[in-house]
Structure 1
Amino acid sequence: MSSRNSPIYIENMRLSNKTRLFKLSMPGAFSFKDSAIRIIWIPVTIMATYAGIVVWLNTYFTRHALPVSVIPFISVVLGLLLVFRSNTAYDRYYEGRKLWTDIKNQSRILTRNLCIGVKNVGPNDEKLKREAIRYILAYVVAVKHYLRGEKGTNYLDFQGLLPATFLFKFKHISTLRLSNYSSTGNSPLGRSSSAVDGATLGNNNLSGRSSGSASTRNSPVGGNTNADGDEDSRLFYFPEEPEELTQTPTTPLVNENQAVSGGENVNIPMHIMCEIAKYVETARDSNRMAPQMYGNIIACMNSLASSLAGCERIVATPIPLNYSIHLKQSVYVYLLILPWCILELNPIMVTLVEFITAFLLIGIEGIGAEIENPFGYDRNDLPLDTFCQTLKHELWMIERFSSPVDGEIPEDDDL
Structure 2
Amino acid sequence: MVAANPLFSGSWSLKKFKATVINDIWPEVLFFTLVATMVTLVSTMTSHSLAISNQMLTVLGTVLGLVISFRTSSAYERYSEGRKLWTNISLTSRNLAQIIWIHVPSQRMNKQTGQQQSGLSVVIEKKSMVNLVQAFSVSVKHLLRGEAGVYYEDLYPLVCFLPRFASHPPARATDDDMLPMWKASAMDTNCHRTAHTLTSRNMSMDLNAQRSSSASPPKDAVVAEEEKADVSDEGIYHSLRGRVSRKKKTFDPEKALPFVYSEHPLQPARNPPKESLYDYLPFLRIWKVIFHPFTHRNKKPAQNSFATVGRSLTGKKLPPEAVDSNVPLEITLFLSSYLAWLLRNGQLQPALASAMTTGIASLQDNVTNLERIRNTPLPFAYQAHLRISLWIYLFFLPFQIFTAFKYLTIPATAFGSFLLLGFLEIGQEIENPFNYDLNDLDLDHFCLSIQRELHEITAHCAPEPEEYIYTAWNQPFAPADRRTADEMMNDLDHLYHGPETGMPSIRRTLLKSWWDVDQMTRKV
Contact 1:115 1:402 in 2 (8 A): no
2:143 match = 146
Contact 2:75 2:431 in 1 (8 A): yes
How far off is 1:403 after superposition?
Answer: 8.1
CA distance in 2, matches of 1:339, 1:173: 72
**SS of match in other structure, 1:401:** coil
* Counterpart code for 1:175: D
Q: Give percent identity, aligned residues only.
A: 32
Contact 1:374 1:382 in 2 (8 A): yes
Among 109, 126, 130, which residue is 2:127 paired with? 130
CA distance in 1, matches of 2:344, 2:77: 43
Among 295, 302, 305, which residue is 2:364 paired with? 305
Q: Is 1:398 the equivalent of 2:384?
A: no
CA distance in 2, matches of 1:106, 1:272: 14
2:199 match = none
Q: Is 1:332 the equivalent of 2:391?
A: yes
CA distance in 1, matches of 2:392, 2:10: 33
Contact 2:6 2:12 in 1 (8 A): no
How far off is 1:157 after superposition?
Answer: 0.9
2:176 match = 176
Contact 2:19 2:437 in 1 (8 A): no
1:165–1:303 CA distance, 2 compared to 1 (3 A): closer
1:379–1:388 CA distance, 2 compared to 1 (3 A): same
CA distance in 1, matches of 2:24, 2:93: 36
Contact 2:136 2:331 in 1 (8 A): yes
How far off is 1:34 after superposition?
Answer: 2.0
**Per-residue Cα deviation, 1:15-40 (whole angstroms, up to 9, x for no partner):** xxxxxx99994388995332222321
* Counterpart code for 1:79: G
1:54 match = 39
What is the RMSD computed on CA atoms of the aligned residues?
Answer: 3.3
**SS of match in other structure, 1:114:** helix
TM (normalized to structure 1)?
0.68
How far off is 1:146 after superposition?
Answer: 0.8
How far off is 1:391 after superposition?
Answer: 0.9
Q: Is 1:96 the equivalent of 2:64?
A: no
1:136–1:67 CA distance, 2 compared to 1 (3 A): same
Among 54, 71, 83, which residue is 2:57 paired with? 71
Q: Report which structure shows greater RCO (CA 8 Å, sep ≥6).
A: 1
Contact 1:47 1:354 in 2 (8 A): yes
2:9 match = 26
How far off is 1:167 after superposition?
Answer: 5.4
Contact 1:54 1:339 in 2 (8 A): yes
Contact 2:32 2:414 in 1 (8 A): yes
1:173–1:162 CA distance, 2 compared to 1 (3 A): farther
Q: Is 1:385 the equivalent of 2:444?
A: yes
Contact 2:42 2:50 in 1 (8 A): no
1:367-378 correspondence to structure 2 within 5 Å: 367-378=426-437
2:411 match = 352
How far off is 1:272 after superposition?
Answer: 0.6
How far off is 1:53 after superposition?
Answer: 1.1
1:134–1:167 CA distance, 2 compared to 1 (3 A): farther
1:168–1:145 CA distance, 2 compared to 1 (3 A): farther
Contact 1:131 1:163 in 2 (8 A): no
Unpaired runs of 5+ residues, structure 1, are: 1-20, 179-259
1:318–1:76 CA distance, 2 compared to 1 (3 A): same
CA distance in 1, matches of 2:12, 2:161: 51
Matched pairs, number? 307
TM (normalized to structure 2)?
0.54
**Per-residue Cα deviation, 1:286-308 (whole angstroms, up to 9, x for no partner):** 11111110000001111111111
How far off is 1:84 after superposition?
Answer: 1.1
**Per-residue Cα deviation, 1:176-203 (whole angstroms, up to 9, x for no partner):** 169xxxxxxxxxxxxxxxxxxxxxxxxx
1:164 match = 161
CA distance in 2, matches of 1:317, 1:34: 24
Among 276, 290, 301, which residue is 2:349 paired with? 290
1:28-47 correspondence to structure 2 within 5 Å: 31-47=16-32
